[in-house]
Structure 1
Amino acid sequence: MIHVVGHTAVDHISRVHHLPEKNQSTHITDRQIFFGGGAANIAAGIALLGESVTLHSCVGDDFSGSDYEKWMEKLGIRRQFFEVPGTHTPTAFMFTDESESQMTFFEWGASKAFATAEAPGLPLVHMATADPDFNCRVAQKSEFVSFDPGQDVFWYTKEQLESIIANTDILFANQHEVQQMCTTLGKTKADLIKEVTMAIFTMSGDGSMLYFGGREQFIPAVPVTLVDPTGAGDAYRAGFLSAYVREFAPLTCCQIGTVTASYAVERAGCQTNLPTWDQMLERYHVHFGKLEKEQDQE
């Protein structure tokens, strides 16, 4: 069982010609509404890949009976929710320009309940964007911890980052989040890598890097037609974690994460084009060959 902690949200995703400067405006060329929230995206990806997953999240009284709830039930996602009456389920407003740069405005809504909620101790947990103090408490109480600060990295204090990283086994981040963590901690990237057992740093369309066992390994991105980059990182984490609990080697887990992410970016929305395990395998074989366990069986 993989446990995922963090936001469940409704995503309003818009395309714009350019991201405006302060006191300026821009034209929205397309706007759509999708199921989202970093933790919920990862849980959906894991469920579709065939692994058991429990989502720990906060929702408002608008969630019960919603299409989003029905979608999670269809996927078989187990849910441990803090339901907060009189609040909205968190809502994200994302704007992506023609160069694929992105800006996000996030209404926490019910997720404010994380601050006072009792943190669970879990056997294997991935912590996505959520309340920093809540994530620190989950990390302290859990046995095996995977951590992804996401765009909430700017809300972590030095003390919170030090606490959570001290209890983290696998650290995920993109290049912007790595830079911010280093700035907050007053450390270099090399220092950060040494503090965790394994680190995976993604670089958008330029692939990702795995740091494990004193080695540095590059994983190229899978070339596809990009429609929307939103949710690519969440899909990568879903693929990695699903492979990790199946006891694949870390490099293979990264490759599976890369393939899973390649599906997500082919359509708008974070959960609209996530693959099953068989679909992932089909594309994996094309770009990375046979999985190591398939080779062992020959």
Structure 2
Amino acid sequence: MRIAVTGSIATDHLMVFPGRFTEQLIPDRLARVSLSFLVDELEVRRGGVAANIAYGLGGLGLDPLLVGAVGDDFAEYEIWLKAHGVDTAAVHVSGERATARFMCITDEDANQIASFYAGAMQEARDIDLRRVLDGRQRPDLVLVGPNDPEAMVRHTHQSRELGLPFAADPSQQLARLDGPRVRDLVDGAHWLFTNEYEAGLLLARTGWTREEVLDRVGAWVTTLSAEGVRIDRAGLPVLTVPAVPDAPVTDPTGVGDAFRAGFLAALARELPPVAAARLGCVVAATALSTVGSQSYRIDRDHLLTTAERAYGTAAAQELAPALDGTR
């Protein structure tokens, strides 16, 4: 199964605040907030949702096609991605703007405050999937991840026009997208990905009920942080998969992307949704224990050991064939 991953490619600047954000907020002064956090640590890491997911897919033995826009500072990052199994031939390089920047502060309760500079990502709207896919193996799925809003709409429309199944993952861009655009991005998706907060925001933006969303997508996958994952499908029982228990928490950045990589890799190997969610949770737990979105290592034995501890021997055995191609 060939997966084209569209979305952001960025550099992450990750900082750690040795305290709690909530202790710095004065309830009756929230209308005028002016805060500065003195941080103890700074990590500069490779990131961006599309690149993070592609990294995980590459490590799991797939050959994902990364589709996004970067600056001319991308050369070293590109070498890294290629070394981890990612096809970067469809990445657009801007001659004017730098690669996008994600800046995030995490407190001791794993709460985060972040900002994102789009940079070259603004030019992703100029990427034509028809031209990108011309002469290449036709993908079996296009993931439309958070990106320049016009790019997200264009990639969704072109997936429909080309008859390509697509997954909708609006993620952080739900805060920027209006109702008509969100409805457009979701309608007809084979898979819809959100976290629990984004699920509520999506319903508010679209004006749809949960049932109306499910009438328009194949399945809705909602990550629930430490509670695991819920998969909703119209007319079928809800599927729930718990998270890996007692997973060490080092840095939550990119954990959702790691989940998506594991989930999609399992689907690519024709595993059922529950098994896919379990692999997603196992990969997410591995990513959670490292700093940065692409610092975790895909190790078959480690993943299977984690899966057996979390879900039992039979579940681990079910996942084993899906991990035979890990790098």
1:146 is aligned to 2:167:
yes
SS at match of 1:161: helix
Name the structure 2 match of 1:75. Answer: 84
Q: 1:18 aligns with which of 17, 20, 23?
A: 20
Distance 2:41 2:112 in 1: 14
Count matched residues.
295
1:47 is aligned to 2:51:
no
Q: Deviations over 1:93-150 (max 9, x none)?
A: 0111122111211111100102333244754111211122322222222211111111
Q: Deviations over 1:131-188 (max 9, x none)?
A: 2232222222221111111111111121111111113110010011111111111123
SS at match of 1:215: coil
Structure 1 residues 147 and 45 mapped into 2: Cα distance closer, same or farther (>3 Å)? same
1:258 is aligned to 2:281:
yes
Distance 2:20 2:320 in 1: 50
1:84 is aligned to 2:86:
no
Q: Which amino acid aligns with 1:2?
A: I
SS at match of 1:248: coil
Deviation at 1:218, TM superposition (A): 1.4
Name the structure 2 match of 1:244. Answer: 267
SS at match of 1:228: coil
Q: Which moved more, 1:142-151 or 1:14-23?
A: 14-23
> Relative to total residues, which structure has the larger strand share, 1 or 2?
1
Distance 1:239 1:255 in 2: 8
Q: Which amino acid aligns with 1:245?
A: A
Structure 1 residues 221 and 126 mapped into 2: Cα distance closer, same or farther (>3 Å)? same
Deviation at 1:242, TM superposition (A): 0.3
Name the structure 1 match of 2:117. Answer: 107
Contact 2:304 2:316 (8 Å CA) reproduced: no
Q: 2:49 aligns with which of 18, 23, 38?
A: 38
Q: Deviations over 1:31-89 (max 9, x none)?
A: 1111110110000000111111110011101112x2x2221121121011111012111
Deviation at 1:296, TM superposition (A): 12
Q: Deviations over 1:256-287 (max 9, x none)?
A: 10111000000111111142444322311222
Name the structure 2 match of 1:61. Answer: 72
Deviation at 1:295, TM superposition (A): 9.7
Distance 1:225 1:293 in 2: 24
Name the structure 1 match of 2:147. Answer: 130
1:6 is aligned to 2:29:
no
Distance 1:296 1:109 in 2: 41
What TM-score do the two structures reach when normalised by structure 2?
0.85
SS at match of 2:91: strand
Name the structure 2 match of 1:158. Answer: 179
Contact 2:279 2:319 (8 Å CA) reproduced: no
Contact 1:140 1:167 (8 Å CA) reproduced: no
Structure 1 residues 203 and 274 mapped into 2: Cα distance closer, same or farther (>3 Å)? farther
Name the structure 2 match of 1:280. Answer: 303
What TM-score do the two structures reach when normalised by structure 1?
0.93
Name the structure 1 match of 2:136. Answer: none
Structure 1 residues 13 and 156 mapped into 2: Cα distance closer, same or farther (>3 Å)? same
SS at match of 2:74: coil
Percent identity, aligned pairs only, is: 29
Contact 2:307 2:316 (8 Å CA) reproduced: no
SS at match of 1:78: coil
Q: 1:183 aligns with which of 167, 189, 204?
A: 204
